[in-house]
Every structure is written in C-alpha cells, then in structure tokens.
Amino acid sequence: MFRGVASRTAQSNYKRLIQVLVIGSDGDHCPQATYDAAKEVGAQIAARSAVTITGGLGGVMEAAGRGAKEKGGMVVGIIPNEDMSYANPYCDIIIPTGIGFARNFITAYSADVAIEGREILPERRSNALDELAWNSLTSGTIQS
C-alpha cells in the first residue's frame, strides 16, 4: 500500500517534487473569504517548490491553482469530466477522468499530503471529505 515519499525506493538521482492536494468546495459553494484563503494556500505550496493538485474545477480548486500559478508553481487538475474544457484556466496539466466524483480516489492517490481546513472547507461537503478520508487511508497523512 502506498505510504508516501519516504517509503519509496529511489529510482534515480533526481529529486521528485512533493505533490500537495488541496480539496474543497466548487464555485457554487465558495464564499470570497474561502476563495482568498485557498489562493494563499496555493501560493504557499508553490513557494515551497511543490506541485499543487486539485480537482481542477472552480471555487477552492480554482483559487489554489490561481495562487500557485501567480507564484510560478505547477498545477495539476484531475477533473471528473471527459472533456478538458471543464478544467479551470490555472491547470498546467489536466487529467480528464470521465468517472465523475469517483475521481476523488485518483486525487487522493496522487498526493503526498492533503490540505483541508476550516478556512478552506467550512461547510464540509461530502465529496471533499471522501478525498480527505481516502488520502488519510492511503498515505496516512492529513494536514488540517
């Protein structure tokens, strides 16, 4: 079972970038204060030379991507749709899954750590909690 960076055997002399999943509500459920907090989280991830991973849509996902891009970071959007056009404009890499919100398992497995917090996810929507729970089970790491 995947347990994060420390458990992997080095495959080369190159250092792999840490991958940070930011989870939270979409554009329909994201107040401005939450958007601003998520944008700052994305900026902080980029400032530490890590990759920002999101669900690739609006709201918290867009804000984290925007913050990361404004600091020169890399953003991966793993979207539930088949069509890449659904992704927000801040995604450098778009992974269209076509499997709906079951894509939350993919986002969780793709991250070394997941960031969720009351400032980012005040309403605790179930899809985001699925991602957080799965990340916890697969990597053993949660930051709140």
62-90, pLDDT tens digit by residue? 999 999 999 999 999 999 999 999 999 99
Task: Using the structure block, give the residue that is written with the tokens 């902080």.
Answer: 44
Domain 16-143, CATH class in plain words: alpha beta
For residue 73, count CB atoms less than 10 angstroms from its CB and return exposed for 0-12, middle for 13-18, buried for 19 or more: buried
Q: Where are the chain's structural domains? A: 16-143
Question: What is this structure's pTM?
Answer: 0.77
For residue 127, count CB atoms less than 10 angstroms from its CB and return exposed for 0-12, middle for 13-18, buried for 19 or more: middle
Positions of the chain with pLDDT under 50: 1-2, 118-126, 129, 133, 137, 142-144
Cα within 13 Å of Cα(78), Cβ side:
23
Chain Cα centroid distance, residue 120: 12
**What is the model's pLDDT at position 21?**
94
Structure tokens that stand for 23 in this block? 């989870």
